[in-house]
Copies of this chain bind each other. A is one copy, B any other.
Amino acid sequence: MEIKKVKSIRAFAPASIGNVSCGFDVLGMAVEAPGDEVELTLTSDQRVTMKKIYGDSGRLPLAADQNTASVAVQSFLNSINSSQGVEIILHKNLPLGSGMGSSAASSVAALVAINHLMNEPYSKKELLTFALDAERIACGAGHADNAAPCLLGGCVLVRDYNPLDIVEIPTPDRLYCTLVHPHLEVKTADSRRILRKMISISDAVTQWGNVAGLVAGLMLSDYPLIGRSLKDVVAEPIRSVLIPGFDEVKAAAVQAGALGCGISGSGPTLFAFSDALETAERVGKEMKNSFLKNGLESDVFVSKVNKEGARIIE
């Protein structure tokens, strides 16, 4: 049987900052760049296949039941009882195991594409459940703090999973994100395993005071409050041990004018917020220099908060 290509589309989904420092496992924020792109083609074959992946140096699985993009699309098709054939080409621009929401970006781009090609049976928010199926493959747990902001854009609170309660937190206009990805890899599962199972009530109170401060700061466009609230006493003290030079790089960011700085997701990427583009670029330069002094090359990405989320680009 000859497989016919019916319709084709291309979608983009951005990197995201999981946790946003104090908001461990509940907050995430999308940036404008970088992001993954997916080319999705409907075929007459009744299978979902990964045709090609660019940019991963051959490290991601092509097996359809193991790649987050194809798992998400399969989950989507199952929900509408469709046996539509789909061919996926993934342009992997986000580094793997970087803490930038790489796995979520691939599945979300694929979901936005298939939803578009199938005449939008779902809202963006509704697509999240399929992205979570994919996150289970990638991270062993269906966390939404990357997938939700990647889909919807902006800063997103995942208040609850039963049922899923997603709250979009407005963000101020002059908030610039610097992402600095040092060339080392931390697996989410490893980074999660080293965390403590119990924490002191005093640390917990400090943390939710900061979470409240961060949400209020974002909504009030109170940049100094955002900066004061970017403190994580729960995950950062432990996870930072896996990032050589963490304390110095963070100090360099603040010294260069950043409002605050923390680990993006489970690391090793660090993020910093600034209230001006110029500052955000200077912050990136100083963080990169500081990583270099610790023997690590790194890539720097500077952009605004992405207010739109994943989108069709072609």
Q: A interface vs B, CB < 8 Å?
A: 22-27, 157-160, 165, 167, 169, 195-201, 204-217, 219-220, 225, 228-229, 234
Whether A159 contacts B199 by the Cβ 8 Å rule is no
Contact B26 A216 (CB under 8 A): no
Q: How far is the CB of A222 from chain B (nearest CB, A)?
A: 8
Known A-B contacts: A159-B225, A167-B212, A197-B201. Give 7 more (CB < 8 A).
Answer: A26-B205, A159-B228, A160-B206, A165-B213, A195-B201, A208-B211, A211-B212
Distance of A157 Cα from B214 Cα, bound (Å): 11
Residues of B within 8 A of A158 (CB): 209
Which B residues are CB-close (under 8 A) to A157? 209, 212-213, 216
Q: Can you spell out 29 A-B residue pairs with CB atoms less than 8 angstroms apart?
A: A24-B205, A24-B208, A25-B209, A26-B205, A26-B209, A26-B212, A27-B212, A157-B213, A159-B210, A159-B225, A160-B206, A165-B213, A165-B228, A167-B212, A167-B213, A167-B216, A167-B217, A167-B225, A169-B216, A197-B201, A198-B199, A199-B200, A199-B201, A201-B234, A204-B204, A207-B208, A208-B211, A211-B211, A212-B214
Contacts of A210 in B (CB 8 A): 159
Q: Contact at A25–B199, with CB atoms within 8 Å?
A: no
Please give me the residue from chain B that is nearest to A169 by CB atom.
B216
The reply to whether A197 and B200 form a contact with Cβ atoms under 8 Å apart is yes
Q: Please, which residue of chain B has its CB at the minimum distance from the CB of A225?
A: B167
Q: In the assembled complex, how far is the CB of residue A216 from the closest CB belonging to chain B, in whole angstroms?
A: 5
A234 to B165, CA, bound (A): 20
Given contacts A159-B229, A215-B212, contact A201 B201 (CB under 8 A): no
